[in-house]
Amino acid sequence: MAEICVSNLTFCYEGSFDNIFENVSFTLDTDWKLGFLGRNGKGKTTFLKLLLGQYPYQGSIRTPAAFDYFPYTVSPAQWEECGADVLEQWKPDCELWAVLCELEKLRVDAEALYRPLKSLSQGECTKVMLAVLFSADHRFLLIDEPTNHLDQDSRESVKNYLKQKKGFLLVSHDRDLLDACVDHVLVLNRQTIEVQSGNFSSWWENKRRKNIFSESENEKHRKELAKLKKASEQAGAWAEKGEGKKIGFDPVKEHDRGKAARAFIGSKTKKMQSRRKQLENRMAREIEEKEGLLADIERPVDLKIMPLKHHKEVLIAAKDYGISYPKREGKQTVFKHFNLELHRGERVFLHGKNGCGKSSLIKAVLACQKDGFNVSENSFLEEGSLAVASGLVISYISQDTSFLRGNIRKFCRERNLEESLFFAVLRQLDMERTQFAKNMEDYSEGQKKKVLIAASLLTQAHLYLWDEPLNYIDVFSRMQIEKLILNYQPTMLLVEHDLRFRENIATKIVEMGR
């Protein structure tokens, strides 16, 4: 057991005008199964890279532990090689037999190590990297969002695997994964950093109770401040009135007052001025106690969406539908004999393993609709029938964010989005105003996804077509989006592997590839 001691850590990217961390201190144990939580852009991945020594910083990070990081960087040349040939490039002290043992626990055939990395599915590649990561002892492992882009079966395999391990820091926004795999949480709050024993659900319940207490304390302080302010104003008024009576008086109206009264009135005035000062000091103390009470409270703003209502009841109908991609010799069938009816008001989730054709089906729907989307008509071959209601307006979120480059204002102009409204939605998704001055390629992956979500929410549509919209999106924003969908009930066709999200909002789940 060893400790990671972070003291007065301050870090800012070169050329940036906002600190990611400022004088933060905390201690971690390398024996923990540690979940790492925080809003997008708060610095989770940055902190992992600071532990790895990739950036200069102020303050100190003291630990006897060595670190290893997931995911490993794969060069273009390595994608052409077999996994067995790159193991030692990723992890110099890696031994093949140890990797094979870990692969067995992940339910992956050893044959996966002897295929080119580019031929592996997303899930297989993730599991091979995890097997390498855990193949040696005496390291504290930094695992950055291992389940993004994985299907439900692969997520279950990774979850069950990590449940058996310890000595890692796991960055994830998947509530189900965090509840199953961690025994401590490190949380980047709005203003503070906290370390707490337990999993996500226990931390969330503690946070809820703490927020209720902070709100009640804030209300108590607010009422006390109002009373003190009123008393201070009265004391000030009395003192000023008394001060005015010290010198000069009307002997007709104030026949009972003599010159000796001046000293008495002066003494009373001085006492009232002193009382006023004491009240002001108490107010200052109350304000000081009040500061910080609400600093870490998450107050997600209710998002809005304005879905259109189509005159038809059935918006998409697939009958014995299939998709194939042309190859040099023949064709590769993705799926066939697929049947689906998407009715107005439904929220249908496509479910199945990676590669079963979920994204291909979405592309086919976009190809039928065409307007505003760059979908090649000849990129795939079809069989059966796929009908999309005429005049259907679609709002689409892609898995891919790599095309987001340049100024965000230019993005608004290209999408015909009202700039002020767009920025308002991003603020409601908790993106800082300072981010609006940056180019989008400098955003975190979660911030890029929020750009796509905000654009979709501002697009009035009959159908919202979302392909893995929550990859990299923080837990708080996921809850916001859940509430939005339940409030406005738009018609949706989605691919999303977040189990809690799907359980909360799906009206129907359609299996593919069975």
- What type of residue sits at position 266? G
Of the chain, the percentage scoring pLDDT greater than 90 comes to 49
Residue 144 sits in the same domain as residue 28:
yes
Q: Is 325 a domain residue?
A: yes
What is the reported pLDDT for 444? 86
Q: Which of 65-74, 205-214, 331-340 has the lowest mean pLDDT?
A: 205-214
Residue 349 sits in the same domain as residue 477:
yes
More confident residue, 228 or 207: 207
Residue 146 sits in the same domain as residue 235:
no
Residue 411 sits in the same domain as residue 345:
yes
What is the reported pLDDT for 300? 63
Helix (H, G, I), strand (E, B) or coil at 321: strand
Distance CA(137)–CA(149), nearest Å, equals 28
What is the reported pLDDT for 213? 75
β strands within 198-238, DSSP E: none
Two structure tokens written together for 267: 């003494």
Q: Which of 6, 39, 13 is CA-nearest to residue 171?
A: 39
Q: Is 247 a domain residue?
A: yes
Tell me if the bond preceding 64 is cis, omega within 30° of 0.
Answer: no
Q: Is 138 a domain residue?
A: yes
CATH number of the domain that 149 lies in? 3.40.50.300
Distance CA(385)–CA(368), nearest Å, equals 11
Distance CA(366)–CA(81), nearest Å, equals 35
Distance CA(404)–CA(421), nearest Å, equals 19
Two structure tokens written together for 507: 């009206």
Local confidence band at 389 (pLDDT 50, 70, 90 cut-offs)? very high
The tens digit of pLDDT for each residue in 424-454 reads 999 989 888 888 988 999 888 889 999 999 9
Q: Is 430 a domain residue?
A: yes
The pLDDT of 402-430, averaged and rounded, is: 91
Cα–Cα separations (whole angstroms), residue 246 to 199, 252, 396: 69, 17, 78
Q: Is 132 a domain residue?
A: yes
Residue 145 sits in the same domain as residue 92:
yes
Q: Which of 78, 86, 54 is CA-nearest to residue 67?
A: 54
Q: Is 452 a domain residue?
A: yes
Residue 506 sits in the same domain as residue 360:
yes
Local confidence band at 370 (pLDDT 50, 70, 90 cut-offs)? low
Residue 446 sits in the same domain as residue 323:
yes
Count of CA atoms in the C-beta half-sphere (13 A) of 97: 0
Q: Which of 189-193, 289-293, 411-415 has the highest mean pLDDT?
A: 411-415
Instruction: Look at residues 255, 290, 325 and tell me which one is the last residue of a structural domain.
Output: 290
Q: Is 215 a domain residue?
A: yes
The pLDDT of 178-203, averaged and rounded, is: 91
pTM of the model: 0.73
**Domain membership of residue 263 as a residue range:** 207-290
Q: Is 303 a domain residue?
A: no
The tens digit of pLDDT for each residue in 315-332 reads 999 999 999 888 756 677
Residue 185 sits in the same domain as residue 258:
no
What is the reported pLDDT for 275? 63
With 60 as the cut, is the pLDDT of residue 474 above it? yes
With 80 as the cut, is the pLDDT of residue 241 above it? no
Domain count, the chain: 3
The per-residue pLDDT of the chain, averaged, comes to: 84
Residue 482 sits in the same domain as residue 367:
yes
The pLDDT of 360-370, averaged and rounded, is: 86
Residue 425 sits in the same domain as residue 466:
yes
403-434 burial, b at 16+ Cβ within 10 Å, e below that, comes to ebeeebeebbeeeebeeeebbebbebbbbeee
Residue 9 sits in the same domain as residue 139:
yes
Residue 180 sits in the same domain as residue 239:
no
Beta bridge partners of 142: 69, 169
More confident residue, 260 or 136: 136
Q: Which of 31, 33, 67, 36 is CA-nearest to residue 50?
A: 67
Instruction: Look at residues 164, 190, 216 and tell me which one is the last residue of a structural domain.
Output: 190
